[in-house]
Amino acid sequence: MSQPRPAGVHVRTPATSANLGPGFDALGLALELYDEAEVALRDDDRVMVEIDGEGADEVPRDGSHLVVRAMRSTFEAMGKQLPGVELRCRNRIPHGRGLGSSASAIVAGVSAALVLLGQESVGSGRIDRDRVFRLAADIEGHPDNVAPCVYGGFTIAWREAEAWHALPLAPSPRLRPVVCIPEERLSTEQARGLLPDSVPHGAAAFTAGRAALLVAAVTGHPELLLDATVDRLHEAYRGPAMPASAALARELREQDGLPAVISGAGPTVLVLGNAPELAERDENPPPEGDPGRINGDQADSIRERAGKGWHIRPITIDPAGVRISSPRLWTCVEE
Ligand code: HSE
């Protein structure tokens, strides 16, 4: 028996790379690689989930699916109970690689829930990003992926007085990220479990200075990225859990002079290259001998350096973050 279909919503959410070296749990970048989710409420309490693409064979197809959990949390935050849902996902962000697949699912669930609660209107195509960000950060527990996923571009996120905050900033148009995605996975939970309770004062002071430099480098001085991406708070502690990624990042930095970091909790390696040929679009043109540049040849040289088993992908920065629109993917059917 088919049900009358409630009005649904289509949500598009970008991949994200967090930390960017010294910006642990604070800095993030949105990338032009998108998950799509489409959701409608049902009149009963059934949860129906269809998934295409990344994670299709692994993620649950019931109420424990992360998009549905985020919807449930959002309904509860508004004093409502989530009824049954129909969810269709087209996933492109690889799972367990440090590219923000969880943040993408959470932001999709929160955004969809707000629309279906009548708190946001698809017609305008706009959404209250601050509210989505706060609800999503509460669910994720750290804000550095959800912030760029919601706002796009480059973000600084923090928590103060029990509240989440984010500042979106425009990244330099010269920035040209390349992601090096391995076959292996590492869960964020496992990677966070490798961190020590405390670090030496010198490591904290060093990293604070580089994080400040990193904000300047990403927003206008990408020629400083090699120095600006050195971290002493997390990457070395996690290296043993992703030795191939740690080795690739080190070789790219030390032998090729490229600002390579571990993306989020890993094991993807992110190269924050910059493209001097784009300098005419930049208010801060590159100085002579600009290091860390990326062009087609260098993407090939990264590919060569990485060798087999890595997917090397030059990628542009997503400027806009989460986007809502009318449904377009519907295929859920009654069994
Ligand atoms: N800042 C987080 C971490 C990002 O490194 O654990 C996880 O996606």
In the reported structure, the alpha carbon of residue 49 is separated from the centroid of ligand 1 by a whole-number distance in angstroms of 27
The predicted-structure confidence for 161-192, as pLDDT tens digits, reads as follows 999 999 999 999 989 899 999 999 999 999 99
The predicted-structure confidence for 37-54, as pLDDT tens digits, reads as follows 999 999 999 999 999 999
Nearest by Cα to 105 from 136, 133, 60, 78: 136
| Integer angstrom CA distances of residue 290 from 78, 280, 281, 285 | 51, 15, 16, 10
Residue with CA at minimum distance from ligand 1 atom 1: 25
In this structure, are residues 260 and 280 in contact, taking their beta carbons and an 8 Å threshold? no
Q: What was the pLDDT predicted at 4?
A: 39
Q: What pTM was computed for the model? A: 0.91
All structural domains of the chain:
8-170+319-325 (3.30.230.10), 175-314 (3.30.70.890)
Q: Residue 78 has which token pair? A: 């508004």
The predicted-structure confidence for 68-96, as pLDDT tens digits, reads as follows 999 999 999 999 999 999 999 999 999 99
Longest dimension (CA), the chain: 69
Atom of ligand 1 nearest to the CA of 265: 5
Q: Is 95 in the pocket of ligand 1 (CB under 6 A)?
A: no
Alpha carbons 229 and 1: distance in angstroms, whole number: 57
Looking up tokens 């966070």 gives 192
Average pLDDT of the residues of the chain: 90
Q: What was the pLDDT predicted at 290?
A: 52
The predicted-structure confidence for 98-128, as pLDDT tens digits, reads as follows 999 999 999 999 999 999 998 877 776 678 9
The predicted-structure confidence for 15-32, as pLDDT tens digits, reads as follows 999 999 999 999 999 999
In this structure, are residues 280 and 329 in contact, taking their beta carbons and an 8 Å threshold? no
Q: What was the pLDDT predicted at 236?
A: 96
In the reported structure, the alpha carbon of residue 82 is separated from the centroid of ligand 1 by a whole-number distance in angstroms of 29
Q: Is 120 in the pocket of ligand 1 (CB under 6 A)?
A: no
Exposure string of 235-245, with b = 16+ CB inside 10 Å and e = fewer, is beebbebbebb
Q: Is 73 in the pocket of ligand 1 (CB under 6 A)?
A: no
Residue with CA at minimum distance from ligand 1 atom 4: 264
Residue 270's H or E segment, with its range, is strand 269-274
